[in-house]
Structure 1
Amino acid sequence: MGKQILLDCRLFAPGADLSGASNKIEISAEVEDKDATNYRSEGWKELLGGLGSAEISGEGQWEAGDPGRVDDASWADLGGLGPYTVCPTDSTVGALAYVTRAMRANFAFGDAVGEIAPWSGTVKSSWPLIRGQIAHPPGTARTADGAGTALNLGALTTGQRLYAALHVLSVAGTDTPTITARIESDDDPGFASPTTLATFSAATAPGGQILRTDGTAVTDTHFRVAWTITGTDPSVLFVTSLGIR
């Protein structure tokens, strides 16, 4: 990926796609530097890495009146923890994605008379910021059981975790339409003998979930999202992002 102009960034809050109401998205991550300098440091500061943190901030045009719009979603999430996925280019399968579990820390809106009503807000990390990929895109409605495209993320060594975020954007149908998504792994892209690594809770409405494995080594190199859908005439829009750290 070379130099680029930011034209199609995507921002997914727990159960909302805020991309169409955003015109600025920033991600930052840092590790505290702790001074461990002593008399054997040969006259140079000796620094150790302390606690890490990440922050996602956004701005855009204020909208309200629907759970998927920025005002409704921000007030619902304020002070709460949930998954956030940011894509610097697009949200097709395999696209670069930054993922974290974060707290909605603040939300502001309003400006002078005659201006387009703006909003701004910030979320602050509760889990590490993960550099991963999109495993399921937002624009493909699912109406039956299925599985997504395999991603070759590589094996997990001991201490590494697979992180997975699920953003359910809409659920339609009758007789309580439900999606239950899970993350599967295999040692080849054909998934002849998949292993379930994590399963999200059943979802009947827009919302977000994020899971991670326990740090045990995984020799499989390919990962995908699979799902079970129930109800009458169901239709579900959702986004999934995966990454290893």
Structure 2
Amino acid sequence: MAKMVLTAAYLAINGTDLSTYTNSIELTTEVDEKDVTTFGSGGWKEVLGGLRSGGLSIEFKQDIAASALDSIMWALFGTVVTFEVRLSNASVGTSNPKYTGSVLVKEWAPISGNVGDDASVKVSYPTSGAVTRATA
């Protein structure tokens, strides 16, 4: 079984590579559980998958320089934009699939932290539409 340490993950939002600002990425997907149990189920619960959804959680290292992270994300606030994530910034392939879709940029925290902390921004965005996995 192969093991991996995340050292160079890739994140692009709205076509812009934001990997250099990012130190944590989590893409989750789930499906609603729908109970379809009947009297004919023999006393066992039966379920089917319903609507699918997902979320993209990110921790950024803030940068407020002109044309840097804060200005990029502020311009996207309140919009649905594309994303792409990979475990490695290497080329997409069978050993490095990409996951793509769209997210609603529903929050931005330009200032967050305590005295002595690094300036980090933690956000969570819901997916909008399908999340796809590709190896090419």
Bigger RCO (CA 8 Å, 6+ sep): 2
Q: Tell me the distance in 1 between the aligned counterparts of 2:80 and 2:14.
A: 9
Which residues of 2 match residues 20-39 of structure 1 at below 5 A? 20-39=20-39
Instruction: Give the structure 1 partner of residue 97 of structure 2.
Output: 96
Q: What SS does structure 2 have at the residue aligned with 1:73?
A: helix
The two structures have a TM-score, normalised by structure 1, of: 0.51
Matches of 1:88 and 1:34, distance apart in 2: 32
Deviation at 1:93, TM superposition (A): 4.5
Instruction: Find the counterpart in structure 2 of residue 131 from structure 1.
Output: 133
Q: Which has the higher helix share?
A: 2
Residues in 2 aligned to 1:76 and 1:91: alpha-carbon distance in whole angstroms: 28
Q: Secondary structure at the match of 1:131?
A: strand
TM-score, normalised to structure 2's length?
0.88
Tell me the alpha carbon deviations over residues 69-90 of structure 1, each in whole angstroms, 9 at most, x when there is no partner.
Answer: 3212221112211110001112
RMSD over aligned Cα, in angstroms? 1.7
Question: Quick one: percent identity of the two aligned structures?
Answer: 32
Q: How many residues align?
A: 133
Larger radius of gyration: 1
Aligned 1:147-158 pairs, distance under 5 A: 151=136
* C-alpha spacing 1:106/1:8, structure 2 compared with 1 (3 Å): same
1:107–1:122: 8 Å Cα contact kept in structure 2? no
Task: Work out the CA distance in 2 between the residues paired with 1:72 and 1:63.
Answer: 9
Q: What secondary structure, in the 3-state scheme, does the structure 2 residue paired with 1:107 have?
A: coil
Q: Which runs of 5+ in 2 are unaligned?
A: none
Matched letter for residue 72 of structure 1: S
Deviation readout 1:97-134 (Å, 9 max, x if unpaired): 1101221122224111121111111221112111114x
Q: Indicate the residue corresponding to 2:81 in structure 1.
A: 82
Q: Partners of 2:92 and 2:35 in 1: how far apart?
A: 42
**CA distance, structure 1, for counterparts of residue 51 and residue 45 of structure 2:** 19
Partner of 1:168: none
- SS in structure 2 opposite 1:83? strand
Change (3 A) 1:93 1:37: closer
- Secondary structure of residue in 2 paired with 1:75: helix
Kindly state the Cα deviation for residue 16 of structure 1 after the two structures are TM-superposed: 2.3
Structure 2 match to 1:61: 61
Q: What CA distance in whole angstroms lies between the structure 2 residues aligned with 1:81 and 1:103?
A: 4
Structure 1 regions of 5+ residues with no counterpart? 134-150, 152-245
SS of residue matched to 2:125: strand
Residue 74 of structure 2 aligns to a residue whose secondary structure is helix
